[in-house]
Structure 1
């Protein structure tokens, strides 16, 4: 075991502060990563504050990890020292259930091991600690190759915000010429706009805030639809091939369901909480679908990173020092960031 520096919370009511944590020795199937950057996800905040229940303290968050390989185990052949790599929301799964066999480790039927606030049940039974730390040791099957042409800081949020929006666009086969709506211009929404644009879709940013229109178009949206404008919503009714809904809280869905074409789908990726009721007729009269999507499996996440490398796609970020994390949490909950915070881990090492 090796003792390293980290930042974490000892209780749901406490700020994050410096901690010393232990990492396991590098096993034959492991990769040791020197962490250079880690994104700040709203899930980090929910877990630190125990909003979803089940947090086990101390919590060291962070599942948007970028770093350099510094050591590999004897069975590792596809990574070498110096490689730029990433670690997302998963660090292990059973690898044998039907979901894992389909490269859907996020839906592991025996319970995936998450990057933090989880248990290394297949390794040593210890708690997992995330990327708000100087180093991590991860099984080779859950380490991702990051294209060297990408800015490492901007690439960090791809490991969660990126794959969360890429996965539904890929699964529902969004293609060139499709009319795609992206609801909400935040950490998820801005990635959805970039991906849909790069896939060749006609992208419509759907927002309650007209002032976000300029930013949306700069990110790749072709049109902006203000959802509070009843006439504009009526004009777009029944015209969307696909809608990516990134709203993070419960909301009325009827207005957005009405935008879908016959046989088209709206996918929820943001609201992990009860939703308001909606009228069944909106789905029945058009054979429309409302679906949900989590992150993606390791294979799909690698495909997303490769696509980003080909199209030079990264997140729009604000780089912060580790010591500024508590202020960053307050700003995230106040929607005061464009569009993701990323921690420069050199600040922790120093």
Structure 2
């Protein structure tokens, strides 16, 4: 797989190992966004061609996201980012909670799938139960049997940790939640770029993702069954439409960026030369992307393991291609600066894994360095990082 030529930004000579914080954008996405403005754009619902183009762009973006994660376009909520949408859904669901109700969150999750639920529970008088992470960075599924009860309203869990890469047994967790009568909210922001996604197989009543993590613009989406969304009544303007999923989308959508979302999904579907529906092509291409990333990740982990003074955090059995580490005698920021001088982009800090870095006991000391692999990375990127840390 060689997708690098599609990305103008990769021509600057840097090794972009920072994809877990946001990926680079292929030329096709840039062109789709620019072309929307060149052709003229109006708001949706009008009687003139520019408005009709906006209608089509929105419909196409919903269909593209649905194909990517295995959903129904009628259940695709679009918004500025996953955090904003999660707060909106949490507040909407919590309107029906009572004192004594419960929500379950995990120490593994990005704070965007923790704090909205914790804060909504506090306002409703509901209690919060926490799922723990073990020494290997796993989220044992069996513990949820003890955390769930007939008062559980929502279980919020990640499909992959954004710092350790851990892929929990989400299907088992959501099955237990459903048996208890609870809804499930799965954060797929980090997981979606790194392999095929099947919302139904995961058991996600709500599946959240962000396009800028899979080579698109800064757009978030939450995918759910339209029938479930139809039972929810979010706060909205009296003058705005009440149909699903529009009732969850406040204000005017960024139409040009939504054109970029569709182009990003098409980019992913085209990583492997194959035929079939877009959904079928995505399943194959994302499986190939995952294999490519894991090959590079093995090289990265093996190399880091041979460098004296490097401490790697987490060793889950199934994980995405992200390494979280420290170097003896250096703060995480100093390591990131050393790598930047070698033209290697990585992140340092808690990366919003607030509870996890606290559980690991590293948050107060600057947490760690994160190097992540995406489908446009290659062996030169990995070797440059390893060489810089070895000198």
TM-score between the two structures when normalised by the length of structure 1: 0.36
TM-score between the two structures when normalised by the length of structure 2: 0.33
Higher strand share: 1
Which has the higher relative contact order, 1 or 2, with Cα contacts under 8 A spaced 6 or more apart?
2
Higher helix share: 2
